[in-house]
Amino acid sequence: MKIYFTADCHFDHANIIIYANRPFLKKDDLIDKRYWASEEIKKDRCQQMNEELVKRWNQQVNPEDIVYHLGDFSFKGVGNAQKWEEKLNGKIIHIQGNHDRNSGVKSYLVKGILVFSNKVVLAQHHPPHDNNEIPKECDFFICGHVHDKWKHKIIGNIPVINVGVDVWNYAPVSITELLKYYWKVKNNVIK
C-alpha cells in the first residue's frame, strides 16, 4: 500500500481548462481566449480532460493505495463525486476545497495533520497566507487551490508544496516523492 496526494482534479469543470491553462485546448476552441466557441467543443474538451485525469490517476495508484485529495474534486451535481470515485483506483480521503460543497462528496476533512518519516505535514486545500496559519510543530505544508501558479514556496521558514494536478503532470504524487521534493526545497536544491 502506498500513500498519494493530489488536489484540484475539477472533474466535469470545463472552464478549469481555460483558467488553469490545461493542455486540452485546440486551436480555435475559444473566442477571445475566454469563451468556448461552442457547447459541443466545451463538452468534448471536458470529456478529454476527465478521461486523461482518470487514466493518469489509475496508472499511478493501485486499488489498495490511499489517496488524499486536497479539495476541488469535481464540479456541481449531487452524486457527481461518487461517479468519479468509482472510476479511480485507491481509497480516497477528501479534504474540503472551495468547490466541494455541492459536488456530492459524502464526507471530508477540513484539514489533516499527518506524520511521515518523522516529518509533521499539514494538509489543506488553501495555502497559508502567513506563518500564523502553520502550527509550530509542522515541518511542511501541502495544499492545492493555486493550480499552476507555483509548485512550492517558503512561508517563514516552512516549505509549502502544491500537490495540485496542474503541477504534478495531472496525476497524484506519492508521499515518497513529496518527501524527496521537501528535502530538495529545504536544502535549496530547488529554488
- Measured between alpha carbons, how far is 50 from 107 in angstroms, rounded to an integer? 22
Task: Report the pLDDT value the prediction gives residue 45, as an integer from 0 to 100.
Answer: 98
Give the residue-averaged pLDDT of 110-137: 93
Give the residue-averaged pLDDT of 156-165: 95
How many other C-beta atoms lie within 10 A of the C-beta of residue 124? 23
How many other C-beta atoms lie within 10 A of the C-beta of residue 40? 9
Beta strand 111-116 with 119-124 is antiparallel
The chain-wide mean pLDDT, for the chain, equals 93
Bridge partners, residue 124, by sequence: 111
pLDDT band at 40 (very low <50, low <70, confident <90, very high): very high
Give the SS3 label for residue 142: strand
CB 147 within 8 A of CB 166: yes
Bridge partners, residue 61, by sequence: none
Task: Report the pLDDT value the prediction gives residue 79, as an integer from 0 to 100.
Answer: 63
Q: What residue segments make up the domains of the chain, in order of their start? A: 3-186
Task: Report the pLDDT value the prediction gives residue 77, as an integer from 0 to 100.
Answer: 65
Select from 25, 48, 47, 20 the least CA-distant residue to 37: 25
Task: Report the pLDDT value the prediction gives residue 105, as an integer from 0 to 100.
Answer: 77
- Range of lowest pLDDT (22-31, 95-104, 161-170): 95-104
Topology of the domain comprising 3-186: Purple Acid Phosphatase; chain A, domain 2 (3.60.21)
- Measured between alpha carbons, how far is 49 from 30 in angstroms, rounded to an integer? 16
- Measured between alpha carbons, how far is 71 from 69 in angstroms, rounded to an integer? 6
Burial 89-100 (b: 16+ CB within 10 A, else e): bbebbbbbbebb
Give the tens place of pLDDT for each residue, 65-88.
Answer: 999 999 999 987 656 788 899 999
